[in-house]
Each structure stands twice: as C-alpha cells, then as structure tokens.
Amino acid sequence: MNSGDAGRTQALPLVADGVAKTYAQARRRVSVLERVDLRVRPGERVGIVGRSGAGKSTLLHILAGLSDPDRGTVTVLGKPLGAAGPAARARLRNQRMGFVYQFHHLLPEFSALENVAMPLLVGGVGFAQAAARARELLARVELAERETHRPHQLSGGERQRVAVARALAPSPAIVLADEPTGNLDRQSAEGVMALLAELGETTGAAFVIVTHDPEVATHVHRTLALVDGVLAPVVPPSAPAVAS
C-alpha cells in the first residue's frame, strides 16, 4: 500500500482486509469467514444479508473488536484493532462506535433518558451534559415525551428507537446494527429503518446493518451478501446515492 492509499484508509470509519475465521466443531474445523474485504465510507449505509449461520454475526463481532480474526485486519478510523489491547478497544467502542441489536438490551431499571445517556456516563461525561445529549436524541427519534418511561412502558418500536438514540449518543463514526428490525412488526420495522437512514444523513455516521429483511435494500447505499465466507455485492432495485 502506498502512502496515498494509507491516507485514504485512515480517513475511513471502517476497513476490513482479508478477514478469515474458523471454528472447531467436534473433530473438524469449520470455516465461517474465508476472506472478507470491506471499506465503509463516512456517511455510508451498508447492508449485509445472508442465510442463518453464514457468519454475519461473527463478522460483526470481529468488526467491533469483540473477537479476533484468524487472518486479516480490521481498522477503525485508522486504528488497527489487532494492535489494540482490551482497554483501548473498549474506549474505541465507547467513544467512536455505536451498536444496535435485535433485542434492544435496554436496562430495565432505568428510564429512556438514562438508557440513552448511559454510554456517555460510562465514558466519564457528567450527568447534566449526558442528559442534555440524551434529550436531544430522544427528540430526534420522536420520543421526547417518553424520556421518563422505563422500557416495559414502551412499545417494541419505541424501545428500538431508544436503542438507536443510545447508539448515537457518543456521536460515533460507525454504527454496527445486528438485525435491528428482527423483533418488530412490519410497520415498526419500516419506521426504524427509515430512522436509521435519516439519522445517517443528518449525523454523518456510517452504518453496517446485518439483516434478514429484504426491505433493507431500500434504506442503504449498497447491499452485500455473505456467501461461502465472502462478501459479494447485491444490486438493489434502487439505492440512494452517497456523497463521495
């Protein structure tokens, strides 16, 4: 890689080069990821589809630095995850990455506002500042009037919107979403995907969205299929343009 390529790579929120992962199963080795190459630009939304067991969640764990590849490298904002220790990875996840899961994973004993503020509080931000940021985000996901409600007092779609707001609390460069609409009805799922697209446009955050939902193609800039351990492009019927 020449110096110009290195400079462009460092500007990208997320880069994966030649990522491979194999697991031991009984007495044999099972290859889940053969060679995954991925570059995500600022503000870009990338959908990743594939059958159950194809390795999508494994890939997300590696991209988040929660698991190490057997081969290959992952770079977040120019920082190689393989060279970072557990504490450095945790700081990077807390400060520059956001996460949305199929199950919202909201803390049941805390209000919507407290849940959204939690990543900031964990990162050492004072409560007043964290709460102000949480209120701003809850307003953006149209839940300003629900900030004092606990998760059990919210609908499924509302809980997932709180989870989206929480993911954006630290102003991340990259958001990793694992089946974010998997537990929602069609109307709520459509609302969450539209929200992710809107927030991606307004915040400049990049999104990698793993999903079984075929409708994801209408809300991302490009869709990739994980097949036999390799990512291959899928051409959607129509896709929004992303600024270069």
Domain limits for position 228: 3-234
Is residue 106 one of the residues assigned to a domain? yes
Spell out the residues 6+ positions from residue 225 whose beta carbon is closer than 8 angstroms to its own.
Answer: 48, 49, 50, 231, 232, 233, 234
Write down the pLDDT at residue 8.
45
Q: Is residue 242 part of a domain?
A: no
What pLDDT does residue 240 have? 54
Distance separating alpha carbons of residues 231 and 118, to the nearest angstrom: 34
Examine residue 19 and state whether it is found in any structural domain, yes or no.
yes
82 in a structural domain: yes
Q: How many alpha carbons fall within 13 Å on the CB side of residue 201? A: 12
Are 43 and 243 within 8 A, CB to CB?
yes
pTM for the whole structure: 0.82
Please state the domain count of the chain. 1
In three state form, how does the secondary structure of 7-37 look?
HHHHHCCEEEEEEEEEEEECCEEEEEEEEEE
Both structure tokens of 9:
């790579």
**What confidence tens digit (pLDDT) does each residue in 75-87 have?**
998 888 888 888 8
Q: What is the CATH number of the domain that holds 60?
A: 3.40.50.300
Q: What is the pLDDT of residue 5?
A: 45
Strands (E), the chain: 14-25, 28-40, 45-49, 71-76, 79-80, 97-100, 174-178, 206-210, 222-227, 230-234
So what's the pLDDT on residue 82?
A: 85
Contact 197, 19 (CB under 8 A): no
H helices then E strands: how many in the chain? 7, 10
pLDDT of residue 16: 94
- What is residue 72's predicted lDDT score, i.e. its pLDDT? 93
Alpha carbon separation from 56 to 8, 26, 68, 116, 171 (Å, rounded): 26, 22, 15, 26, 25
Q: Using the structure block, give the residue that is written with the tokens 């959204």.
A: 116
Whether 112 is in a domain gets the answer yes
Residues 100 and 163: beta-carbon distance below 8 Å: yes
CB 231 within 8 A of CB 17: no
The answer to whether position 241 is within a domain reads: no
* pLDDT for the residue 236: 56
Extract the residue ranges of the chain whose pLDDT is less than 50: 1-10, 244
- Whether residue 169 is contained in a domain is answered as yes
The answer to whether position 244 is within a domain reads no
Can you give the pLDDT at residue 39?
A: 94
On whether the CB atoms of residues 171 and 96 are closer than 8 A, the answer is no
